[in-house]
Structure 1
Amino acid sequence: MKKVNVVNLCGLALLLAAYSVLMLPALAEDSVVTGALSKKEQLGQSLFFDPGLSQTRSQSCATCHAPDKGFSDHRGEGVAAAVSLGDDGKSLGDRNAPAIGYAAFIPPFHRNADGVYVGGQFWDGRASTLTDQAEGPPLNPIEMALPDKQTLVARLEQNPVYQQLFTEVYGNDIFNNADSAYRAAADAIASFEQTSMFAPFDSKYDRYLRGEVSLTPEEDLGMTLFFSQQFTNCNLCHQLQSLPGSEQETFSNYEFHNIGVPENTALRALNAVQTPDEGLLAHPEVTDPQQRGKFKTPTLRNVAVTAPYMHNGVFKDLRTVVLFYNKHNSRKVSMQINPETGEPWQEPEIAENISLEELETGPGLDDRRIDALVAFLETLTDQRYEHLLASPQGLEPRSDP
């Protein structure tokens, strides 16, 4: 992945001003990178931050994938925070917007040698590549809500800066065909998403592997549990490289599983969706009913700062997620209670095809080991987001020891 330095925010603002944009999305100084971007990456960067790609010119890619928030959507509060608010200011989808850091490492959608579905963008893998994914939101009626490709291309063509960049990168005839120009815009965004801004590999865990910092005893225990084949088997699904400690580990094998996530009933009361989310079976190329209810295993990079969790945002706290997994192996009555509701864990939204072989592994964990796993997952936070990690008391940001 190409290394870059710092994006010139003034230059970015001028570029967007040339497009008659009235306001640049607020970005933390440390949420972007600066330096030598290629022309295609520069174009993709400008498009990524441009709210002119939405119907009311109020929403950009960065709106739902904020660089200063781990490329996740932190705009909403309460139940509405589970999913992104559309360009019209009222539409709510049914899935949590995935954080897109490290998304460049997701392989194209395919079936591996064992016939298992792997990869692709979105929770159901329906967009095979980053470019395919970037084509989706501008035309989605409950997202950026443009009526057609021609509308977006016409807006781009009206901007002399975009005219210059598009022709330099894609040729003088790029605007002669709306489909080609629209695809080029998506390709440029995908190119920007492959820069090191999205995947710096500089978390405490990475620095630990390089011998730059030490883990606390709690974090070290959590790491042992995470990679253990006797206790948690987290690495069955959340390990890409063959050995623990490998460089550029993204903590996902990008396979699909039904882990028994319950329906987000509070969200459904808001968005009025009445049908179960069938996950992988909703992919247009998938017809096997055994894939119903399966969702792609997400990266755990920045997981501690990109709440809420699961495909429908049903859980608010990372510790709740670990407890949710632990309920399969613990016989303690207290472990059968969702701490966020005070009630027993809800039944799965899709009750068939649950990956019990992967879930029912090892002994149940006590609170100390639960906390240790959470502490280790916090070490997977990129350095520029570490200030977002709450202390155990939730009072002050946590810093490295």
Structure 2
Amino acid sequence: MRLTAINFYVIHMPLVTPFSTHLETVKNRESIIIEIIDQDGRKGYGEVVAFSSPWYTEETVKTCYHMLTDFFIPFLMKKEIREAKDIYPLLSNFKGNPMAKAGLEMAFWDLQAKQMNISLSKLLGGTASTIPAGVVVGAKSIEETLEQIEQHLLNGYQRVKIKISPENDLKLVSAIRKVYPHLSLMADANSAYTLRDMDRLKALDEYGLLMIEQPLDANDIIHHATLQKELQTPICLDESIVTFQDAKHAIQLGSCQVINIKIGRVGGVWTAKQIHDLCLEKNLEVWCGGMLEFGVSRAHNIALASLPGFTIPGDISSSNRYWTEDITLPEVKVEKGSISVPSGTGIGFEINENRLKQVTVATERFSFS
């Protein structure tokens, strides 16, 4: 995979609707789009999905930019890269920073699929031609949440995820169930609870939730195992699963019944696929989580979610759910509750060059000799 250049586009765009959790309200989204170019002029694209502030994980757009420009790219420029799955082990000597690594690795997967003249889905072993679409609601009030749910159901989404904390959980879930008793509903806690909240979490069992995502600390799998033994509702781990070993240990301990796989959180496509394969082998359900992405990362998520273990609708929404105009063409659309998996080469989407130029606030280029 001989490259001639790597280009960075730091982009900034307002969300159509602010996204709120108990940790942060996101009104504007910043990211880094990575473009790699091979000797034949083919281009592969990746996206850094870290946020501007460290509310979800410790990484930010600025820390990712620093790691990529000062360490990862200069290091890789000296190495021979045969295929995309080489990137993760090559960068393993650098501690942490999975979102920075993933953004770069994504671009290599897109490029490899284009070089092989196949779709990224096919390269990964995907089998689905369409994937079920879910959506996450991050609103500040019960009224606003119900309004958003109604609109999303009209748009065909098959599953809704809400954000909960001890301040709103029972009131919010109860209000939703009164209006939508049979809705496929899951709740994401983003580590808002401790084991002292055991009774409060057990009280949610009566509402028939699909799962409770990451109720306890982001670094924990031990207490989650204790909690899962007491709950009827499946626990889904998100922030706790950063590596393949994390997933393996969580399964061994019985810390969860579901794992949310995010390419950025686990350091890239290759690790995401390995975690998927492990869960498929162990009969553990998986689904593809979202990070308020732009079109490049959304396209990678679609390819990943086409693998056979992804049976739960993921957080892969239509582009217009977040953006007045995305940076990829065609924009992702949910039709009758599903999203089509592209059959074209690579990620199957083109870059909207005019839109990318409009939202780019900084660029950088690395040329290979």
Mark yes or no: TM-score above 0.5. no
Larger Rg: 1
TM tier relative to shorter chain = under 0.3
Higher relative contact order (CA 8 A, sep 6+): 2
Greater per-residue strand proportion: 2
TM-score (normalised: structure 1)? 0.24
